[in-house]
Structure 1
Amino acid sequence: MLTIYGVYRSRATRTLWLAGELGLEFKHMPVIQARRLSDPLATDAPVNTLTPSYLAINPMGTIPCIDDDGMVLYESMAINLYLARKYSTPLAPADLVEDAQMMQWSFFSATEIETNALKISSTVAEGLANSEAGQTVIEVAARMLRRPFKVLEQHLSSTDYLVGNRFSVADINAAEVVRYAQGHPALFDANPSVKAWLERCQSRPAFRAMWDARNIEAA
């Protein structure tokens, strides 16, 4: 049995979305981030990323994490690439070239986009987007994202999806990173192919189901 650790309001959305796309049966363990708790080591604290029992599973104390019949992984991109490859569906790479391309776009998103996109997301989530300080953070982050977004724009101007012109695990991995920048619409207006691609990805039933579950989870 596959177990997925992590709350919906975390990077676990990437794996929970993929599981929905694949129609997987799994056990969900909603491990919460320790930083969201006043005392994560209290005896009545919910299972979190500092809970000793969870650290015994994932010594990094990060989410998501999976246990697939004893095989434990705790990096979201690796988790999704593994699950996509395990189940023979169009979401997985069809050959070695597609495998390399899916890894490229996954890691490109994580290394070139995520840090600055998260700055936009967190500034908006904290209600600071309209403050002078918040606007400065967003403007700097958006400026740093211009180049990687243009790379995506150029690629997506001639294809609907990142690899093989079909929806795949690469799109899930990248879309869940690019999503963090949606609090700055001007970035997407300047890159219409990226905007249209993200809308296609987020219109999928498995994404909507994951998002609905996220929305009912405590913030």
Structure 2
Amino acid sequence: MIKLYGSSMSRAGRSLWALEETGVKFEQVLVGETRKPEYLKVNPNGHVPTLDDNGTILWESMAINLYVAEKCGKAPLWPSTVEGHGACYQWSLWGMTEVETRLIEIFEHRIMLPAAQRDEKVALAAVEKLKAPLKVLDDHLRKSEYLLGKEFTIADLNVASVMSIARYIQLDLSSVPTAEKWLQKCLGRPANQRAGAMK
């Protein structure tokens, strides 16, 4: 059976969502301390999530999600064409490189760091840097219901999971209303609701 290490309140949440979308049976393993020797044998980075698929070990949430979608998912979650696969890779990596880094900066400097270490200038700069990629997303979604067309795919799941941080930092998305509507639709999916209800 597939084991997924990590809680829904970490990056493991997006992998729990992906597993829920496929309907595959899996076991969630909560990790109290990621730097203990027994866990470092599974993931030498000391992070979550980690996937153990009957001895095949993967870390990095986006890699896990693409693997899960390819192995366990069916079209449209995992597209049936190589071109569709390429688009899934593209949007997933875009979410990590263009959006997530900025969202994490805002989260750190407005919520996570101790008050004395927060720098609102860093947060505001990150908000500014997000404007261009969010416009790219909004413009694209004006032409199609989901990232690859009319149906929800792993690309939507991956980007929406990155964008979900916007809720916690109360990021104003009113300038990108199409993207905001798409995000709410993705996050409202039953599989995400089930994943979010896990520990």
| TM-score, normalised via structure 2 length | 0.91
Residues 72-109 of structure 1, C-alpha deviation per residue, up to 9 Å, x if partnerless?
10011111111101124120021000000000000000
Please say if residues 161 and 167 of structure 1, whose CA atoms lie closer than 8 Å, have aligned partners that are also in contact: yes
Offset of residue 126 of structure 1 = 3.8
Aligned to 1:98, the other structure's residue is in SS state: helix
Please say if residues 138 and 184 of structure 1, whose CA atoms lie closer than 8 Å, have aligned partners that are also in contact: no
Report the residue type matching 2:97 in the other structure: T
Show the counterpart of 2:133.
Answer: 148
Aligned to 1:83, the other structure's residue is in SS state: helix
Offset of residue 62 of structure 1 = 1.7
CA distance in 2: counterparts of 1:59 and 1:128, whole angstroms: 28
Please say if residues 110 and 120 of structure 2, whose CA atoms lie closer than 8 Å, have aligned partners that are also in contact: no
Show the counterpart of 1:93.
Answer: 79
Offset of residue 128 of structure 1 = 8.3
Please say if residues 164 and 187 of structure 2, whose CA atoms lie closer than 8 Å, have aligned partners that are also in contact: no
Show the counterpart of 2:176.
Answer: 191
CA distance in 2: counterparts of 1:207 and 1:125, whole angstroms: 24
Aligned to 1:190, the other structure's residue is in SS state: coil
Q: Tell me, which stretches of 5 or more residues in structure 2 are unaligned?
A: none
CA distance in 1: counterparts of 2:151 and 2:108, whole angstroms: 31
Show the counterpart of 2:153.
Answer: 168
Q: How many residues align?
A: 196
Please say if residues 120 and 181 of structure 1, whose CA atoms lie closer than 8 Å, have aligned partners that are also in contact: no
Matched, 1:204 2:189: yes
Residues 167-193 of structure 1, C-alpha deviation per residue, up to 9 Å, x if partnerless?
11111111111111232442x100011
Higher mean C-alpha displacement, 66-75 vs 85-94: 85-94
1:108-119 matches, within 5 Å, as 108-119=94-105
Report the residue type matching 1:171 in the other structure: D
Choose from 3, 27, 46 the match for 1:61: 46
Report the residue type matching 2:25 in the other structure: E
Residues 107-158 of structure 1, C-alpha deviation per residue, up to 9 Å, x if partnerless?
00001111111122334434989x9x65433321110101111110111111
Show the counterpart of 2:166.
Answer: 181
Please say if residues 120 and 180 of structure 1, whose CA atoms lie closer than 8 Å, have aligned partners that are also in contact: no
Offset of residue 26 of structure 1 = 0.9
* Aligned-pair Cα RMSD in Å: 2.0
Say if 1:19 and 1:163 are closer, same or farther in 2 by CA, change over 3 A: same
1:15-30 matches, within 5 Å, as 15-30=15-30
| TM-score, normalised via structure 1 length | 0.83
Report the residue type matching 1:181 in the other structure: A
CA distance in 2: counterparts of 1:210 and 1:128, whole angstroms: 29
CA distance in 2: counterparts of 1:175 and 1:143, whole angstroms: 20
